[in-house]
Amino acid sequence: MAPLAERMRPNTLENFIGQNHLVGEGAILRKAIESGNIPSMILWGPPGVGKTTLAKIIANYLKKPFHILSAINSGVKDIREVIEKAQKQHFFGTNAPILFIDEIHRFSKSQQDSLLGAVEQGTITLIGATTENPSFEVISALLSRCQVYVLKPLEKNELVTLLGFVLMNDDELKKKKISFIENEALLRLSGGDARKLLNILEIVVNSVSTDFIEINNEIVVQSVQQNIALYDKSGEQHYDIISAFIKSIRGSDPNAAVYYLARMIEGGEDPLFIARRMVILSSEDIGNANPTALVIATNCFNAVNIIGMPESRIILSQCATYLACSAKSNAAYMAIEEALSTVKKTGDMSIPLHIRNAPTKLMKDLGYGMDYKYAHNYDENFVNLEYLPDGLKGTKFYEPGNNARENEMRERLKKLWKEKYGY
């Protein structure tokens, strides 16, 4: 028998739960589907939010031939075979088929290149699914020919709706009398992943020998602990373990960090995914407390890309333990978040004339660049000049962290700017 999540996979937009910003009444993707004219697209979102299901619904709604490839076990040869089929179907007057590629981020550059001509000529309509940021994982030539739609984890009310729907509609569950005394643990453990929610529900139901089942938090936790899934790099524990890994490094625990690193390596996780996350962490959680961290993390990413597994496990371990042992600061992260918030509130404020670029005589006549003072002409390479727009004078975005290196930076800023920024 198929798993509950597969049995309950919706086949119409009306039964599709979640992603209202894309497929709700009047939403952008729904309008495109109903018009019968969809673009090639990349569906970007975490596991279990409906990427594959949505692709199948689109094909059903538009009555288009539907081909599926998985980037894990498909190559250029498979792509060419599908394109040849599509060309024949197109020749006989059929609508351009849909080619759905799951985990498109795992395709190499050459594999992605092989799709370009067919997408550009309209031989196929491409729908790619990815859990990774397509800006980093999909080549720019292909990305420019696709619309990117971002799918979100399901909200609590959507998960509750889904539970009610499966209890009323699944033939197997209808044979039992199931009621929810509590659902907090079930919702929490699902993490907004519909497939995970239904997998856990199925585990709980199967763990009870009677047909009268009252589900509470204790039963859910006990059932899950007794049926811990193996690491699944395409879903399930993927986000849980990378989260534990990052939080262990942030918490300065090299032992926990290397343990979760081993879990991911043993589970077959993409080493470049791990390395990329450490590059991000080196700025977000360490920053100017130890600027060398970003250098080491970036070199780790490059080295892993060159060396490959299994040797890259050593490089990843060196980087993870170094980052975990490093001083921590999120000051750079907080500074850009505060600055972005200010920009959104205040808009495009006027840049002071003296620091504007003046490449033409007209601009110079208008005062662009006038009274600008070149810092290197002054003692300590510093001159007290106003750089922020008038409405933001004295605004402090960057607050150095409380660590040896940033304390030195704070003292320097205090010496240079006196009381201006309150350092």
- The label of the residue with tokens 């343990």 reads 259
Q: What is the pLDDT of residue 320?
A: 96
Q: What is the CATH number of the domain that holds 390?
A: 1.10.3710.10
Residue 230 has pLDDT above 50, yes or no: no
Same domain as 317, residue 351: no
Which of 170, 199, 226 represents a domain boundary (last residue)?
226
- What is the average pLDDT across 397-410? 92
Q: Would 362 be classed as within a structural domain? A: yes
Q: What is the average pLDDT value for the chain, to the nearest integer?
A: 89
Is pTM beyond 0.85? Reply is no
Residue 269 has pLDDT above 90, yes or no: no
Same domain as 193, residue 178: yes
> For the ranges 12-26, 60-74, 351-365, which has the lowest average pLDDT?
351-365
Q: What is the pLDDT of residue 70?
A: 84
Please, which pLDDT band fits residue 359 given cuts at 50, 70 and 90?
Answer: confident
Q: Would 333 be classed as within a structural domain? A: no
Residue 336 has pLDDT above 70, yes or no: yes
Tell me the per-residue pLDDT of 30-56, one tens digit each, with 9 for 90 and over: 999 999 889 999 999 988 899 999 999
Residue 257 has pLDDT above 80, yes or no: yes
Tell me the per-residue pLDDT of 121-179, one tens digit each, with 9 for 90 and over: 889 999 999 988 888 888 989 999 999 999 999 999 999 999 999 999 999 999 989 99
Number of compact structural domains in the chain:
4
Same domain as 143, residue 30: yes
Q: What is the pLDDT of residue 181?
A: 92
Same domain as 179, residue 129: no
Q: Would 257 be classed as within a structural domain? A: yes
Same domain as 218, residue 124: no
- What is the average pLDDT across 383-389? 89
- What is the average pLDDT across 238-255? 89
227 or 241, which is more confident: 241
Q: What is the pLDDT of residue 107?
A: 87
Same domain as 320, residue 246: yes
Residue 395: domain span? 341-417
Please, which pLDDT band fits residue 268 given cuts at 50, 70 and 90?
Answer: confident
Supply angle C-alpha 374, 375, 376, rounded to 5. Answer: 95
Same domain as 250, residue 205: no
What percent of the chain has a predicted confidence (pLDDT) above 90?
54
Same domain as 281, residue 252: yes
Q: What is the pLDDT of residue 296?
A: 97
Q: What is the pLDDT of residue 191?
A: 82
Q: What is the pLDDT of residue 347?
A: 86
User: What amino acid is encoded at 260 in this protein?
Assistant: Y
Which of 292, 325, 358 represents a domain boundary (last residue)?
325
Residue 267 has pLDDT above 90, yes or no: no
Q: Would 250 be classed as within a structural domain? A: yes
Q: Would 334 be classed as within a structural domain? A: no
Q: Would 62 be classed as within a structural domain? A: yes
3-state secondary structure the chain: CCCHHHHCCCCCHHHCCCCHHHHCCCCHHHHHHHHCCCCCEEEECCCCCCHHHHHHHHHHHHCCCEEEEECCCCCHHHHHHHHHHHHHHHHCCCCCCEEEEECHHHCCHHHHHHHHHHHHHCCCEEEEEECCCHHHHCCHHHHCCCEEEECCCCCHHHHHHHHHHHHHHCCCHHHCEEEECCCHHHHHHHCCCHHHHHHHHHHHHHHCCCCEEEECHHHHHHHHHHCCCCCCCCCCCHHHHHHHHHHHHHCCCHHHHHHHHHHHHHCCCCHHHHHHHHHHHHHHHHHHHCCHHHHHHHHHHHHHHHHCCCCHHHHHHHHHHHHHHCCCCCHHHHHHHHHHHHHHHHCCCCCCHHHCCCCCHHHHHCCCCCCCCCHHHCHHHCCCCCCCCHHHCCCCCCCCCCCHHHHHHHHHHHHHHCCCCCC
Which of 278, 293, 325 represents a domain boundary (last residue)?
325
137 or 275, which is more confident: 275
289 or 77, which is more confident: 289
